Amino acid sequence: MSERLTTAQTTDDRYYGQFGGQFIPETLMTELQAVAKAYHRYRQDPDFLHDLHTLLHDYANRPSLLYYAERMTKDLGGAKIYLKREDLNHTGAHKINNVIGQALIAKRMGKTRLIAETGAGQHGVATATIAALFGMDCEVYMGKLDTDRQRLNVYRMELLGAKVHPVTTGSMVLKDAVNAALQAWTQRVDDTFYVMGSAVGPYPFPQMVHDFQSVISRESKAQLQAVEHHLPDMVVACVGGGSNAIGSFAQYIDDPSVQLIGCEAAGKGVNTGQTAATIEKGTPGIFHGMKSLFLQNDDGQIDQVYSISAGLDYPGVGPEHAQLAALKRATYVGITDEEAVQAFEYIAKTEGIIAAIESCHALAYVMKVAPTMRPDQTIICTLSGRGDKDVAAIARYRGTDLHD
Ligand X SMILES: Cc1ncc(COP(=O)(O)O)c(C=O)c1O
Residues that bind ligand X (CB under 6 A): 93, 119-120, 122-123, 198, 238-245, 311-312, 356, 358-359, 384-385
Burial of 4 (0-12, 13-18, 19+ CB in 10 A): exposed
To another protein, the closest distance from the beta carbon of 296 in angstroms equals 7
DSSP 242-298: SHHHHHHHGGGTT-TTSEEEEEEEEET-TTSS----HHHH-EEEEETEEEEEE-B-T
CB proximity list for 231: less than 8 A, separation 6 or greater: 221, 224, 225, 252, 255, 257, 258
* Per-residue DSSP letter, 162: -
Pick one of ligand X, another protein, none as the site partner of residue 331 (Cβ within 5 to 8 A by kind): none
163 has catalytic annotation: no
Smaller CB distance to another protein: residue 54 or 183? 183
To ligand X, the closest distance from the beta carbon of 118 in angstroms equals 7
To another protein, the closest distance from the beta carbon of 145 in angstroms equals 16
CA–CA dist 309, 241 (Å, integer)? 13
Smaller CB distance to another protein: residue 25 or 371? 25
Pick one of ligand X, another protein, none as the site partner of residue 64 (Cβ within 5 to 8 A by kind): none
Which member of 2, 80, 111, 117 is catalytic? 117
Laid out side by side, the sheet with 289-294 consists of 15-16, 19-23, 289-294, 283-287
Which member of 95, 107, 281, 389 is catalytic? 95
To another protein, the closest distance from the beta carbon of 170 in angstroms equals 7
To ligand X, the closest distance from the beta carbon of 110 in angstroms equals 27
Pick one of another protein, ligand X, none as the site partner of residue 359 (Cβ within 5 to 8 A by kind): ligand X
Smaller CB distance to ligand X: residue 21 or 92? 92
DSSP β-ladder status, 378-383 and 80-85: parallel
Smaller CB distance to ligand X: residue 302 or 310? 310
Pick one of another protein, ligand X, none as the site partner of residue 182 (Cβ within 5 to 8 A by kind): another protein
Pick one of another protein, ligand X, none as the site partner of residue 145 (Cβ within 5 to 8 A by kind): none
Binding site residues, another protein, CB under 8 A: 14, 21-31, 169-170, 175-176, 179, 182-183, 186-189, 284-289, 294, 296, 298-302
DSSP β-ladder status, 137-143 and 163-167: parallel
DSSP 360-388: HHHHHHHHHHGGGS-TT-EEEEEE-BBSG
26 has catalytic annotation: no
Smaller CB distance to ligand X: residue 246 or 373? 246
Laid out side by side, the sheet with 192-194 consists of 163-167, 137-143, 113-118, 192-194
384 has catalytic annotation: yes
Give catalytic residues, as residue numbers: 95, 117, 384
